[in-house]
């Protein structure tokens, strides 16, 4: 079974930085794209950043210029470097993978369990 695990969340002061990691497990053959979403208390989950298998990236306007999504050397691992953090960035951050082809099945979308980022003012 395909699983995604996020790490790197925590408490940071406004203006600080954090680096989130997302690793995958399972018999994965290919993944079309991976990305980060977040959900603040009382709000809907929103897109943050994404990266395709070809390396193309896209960002939400709210994080453009502050966050950087990248691939790791390990297969199917991604990072989210978050600089210039603001209190409004406080949220549970989720990693996801889309159009996953695995040995046992194909998955349209797989989500991790999330990691909490808290930015104090």
Rounded-to-integer distance, Cα 78 and Cα 19, Å: 10
pLDDT under 50 in the chain at which residues? Answer: none
**pLDDT score at 75:** 80
**pLDDT score at 46:** 98
**pLDDT score at 74:** 80
Q: pLDDT, tens digit, for every residue of 75-108? A: 899 999 999 999 999 999 999 999 999 999 999 9
**pLDDT score at 100:** 96
In Å, what is the CA distance from 61 to each residue of 20, 23, 46, 85, 108? 19, 25, 11, 14, 25
Coil, strand or helix at 20: strand
Q: Which tokens in the block code for residue 90? A: 């406080």
């Amino acid at each position: 079974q395909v699983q995604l695990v996020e790490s790197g969340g925590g408490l940071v002061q406004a203006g600080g930085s954090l680096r989130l990691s997302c690793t995958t497990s399972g018999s994965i053959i290919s993944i079309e794209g991976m990305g980060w979403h977040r959900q603040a208390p009382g709000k809907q989950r929103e897109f943050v950043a994404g990266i395709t298998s070809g390396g193309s990236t896209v960002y939400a306007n709210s994080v453009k210029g502050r966050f950087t999504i990248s691939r790791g050397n390990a297969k199917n691992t991604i990072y989210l470097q978050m600089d210039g953090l603001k209190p409004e960035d406080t949220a549970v951050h989720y990693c996801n993978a889309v159009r996953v082809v695995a040995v046992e099945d194909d998955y349209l979308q797989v989500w991790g369990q999330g990691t909490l980022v808290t930015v104090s003012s």
